[in-house]
């Protein structure tokens, strides 16, 4: 499901409940100087990092077998944002918008994605029936409906770059997060919204990492998405995660640590 579609679904959860009731995210001289010069020359002669292929990334991206209680599947067409429809009012904030919508920064040589889903016990049971809702108060019915939407979805992306492209992309992401912490306007698939804040989170993964809680306002409602990107060699792993019930209630939720750790383990 596209990010914009998911948010519309999330923000209408209460309305769904009421409808059912009615029916019922420089070197020196000498020997030391010579050694240093030779070391520098050797370093400069080291071949540049080479990007992994799409086939190699497909073998390294997380699968259901790598996770506990979560499922990983190839995203459908409606799950993936169209880069041509995502725009910002401040050019320096574009890297934030891209990783928020699970899009790569710069142009990777190869990429792959998986949509990882974690459902609570209530969500696995599905939406309460009309008969069950009819036995509840309006408040109980709304809570039960939101509980059935307790689903965390994490778009997991691998982007591989030639040479130092991954390092440059991660640097651009980090700097954009710092410059745009106060917010910016974001348009996605014709839907206008506002990123109202970017809060830095702590994660430990790969050789370098960036993580945020990104707060958005869409149709007057607050939406929170967890974003994380780490680098392992010439590859970036990106994560854009939200919990439908938490977003509906306005509750905080955590970074998808289990998914990030599983992906880091596969990338080595």
Per-residue confidence (pLDDT) for residue 47, from 0 to 100? 61
For the chain, domains (ranges, CATH) are 48-122+151-267 (3.40.1000.70)
Q: Measured between alpha carbons, how far is 125 from 104 in angstroms, rounded to an integer? A: 35
* Cα–Cα nearest to 3, from 20, 18, 25: 25
Cβ–Cβ < 8 Å for 216, 186: yes
pTM of this prediction? 0.82
Per-residue confidence (pLDDT) for residue 13, from 0 to 100? 46
* Cα–Cα nearest to 172, from 95, 229, 230: 95
Q: Measured between alpha carbons, how far is 62 from 85 in angstroms, rounded to an integer? A: 28
Reading the chain (268 residues) residue by residue, the pLDDT tens digits are 344 544 444 444 444 443 444 444 344 444 444 544 444 444 445 566 789 999 999 999 999 999 999 999 999 999 999 999 999 999 999 999 999 999 999 999 999 999 999 998 988 988 888 898 889 988 888 888 998 889 999 999 999 999 999 999 999 999 999 999 999 999 999 999 999 999 999 999 999 999 999 999 988 888 999 999 999 999 999 999 999 898 888 888 899 999 999 999 999 9
Q: Measured between alpha carbons, how far is 255 from 213 in angstroms, rounded to an integer? A: 8
Q: Measured between alpha carbons, how far is 54 from 34 in angstroms, rounded to an integer? A: 43
Backbone angles phi, psi at 35, to 5 degrees: -65, -40
């Amino acid at each position: 499901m596209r990010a914009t579609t998911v948010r519309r679904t999330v923000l209408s959860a209460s309305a769904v409940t009421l409808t059912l009731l009615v029916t019922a995210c420089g070197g020196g001289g000498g020997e030391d100087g010579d050694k240093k010069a030779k070391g520098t020359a050797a370093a400069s002669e080291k071949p540049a990092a080479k990007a992994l292929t799409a086939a190699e990334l497909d073998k390294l991206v997380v699968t259901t077998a790598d996770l506990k209680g979560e499922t990983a599947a190839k995203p459908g067409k409606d799950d993936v944002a169209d880069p041509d429809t995502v725009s910002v009012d401040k050019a320096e904030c574009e890297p934030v918008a891209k990783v928020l919508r699970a899009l790569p920064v710069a142009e990777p040589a190869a990429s792959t994605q998986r949509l990882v889903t974690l459902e609570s016990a209530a969500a696995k049971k599905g939406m309460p029936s009309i008969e069950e809702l009819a036995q509840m108060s309006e408040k109980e019915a709304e809570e039960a409906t939101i509980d059935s939407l307790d689903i965390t979805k994490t778009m997991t992306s691998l982007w591989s770059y030639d040479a130092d492209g991954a390092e440059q992309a991660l640097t651009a992401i980090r700097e954009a997060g710092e410059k745009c912490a106060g917010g910016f306007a974001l348009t996605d698939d014709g839907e206008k919204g506002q990123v109202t804040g970017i809060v830095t989170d702590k994660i430990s993964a790969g050789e370098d990492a960036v993580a945020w809680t990104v707060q958005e306002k869409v149709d007057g409602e607050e939406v929170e998405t967890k974003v994380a990107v780490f680098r392992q060699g010439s590859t970036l792993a990106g994560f854009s995660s939200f919990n439908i019930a938490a977003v509906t209630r306005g509750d905080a939720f955590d970074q998808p640590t289990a998914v990030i750790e599983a992906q880091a383990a596969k990338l080595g």
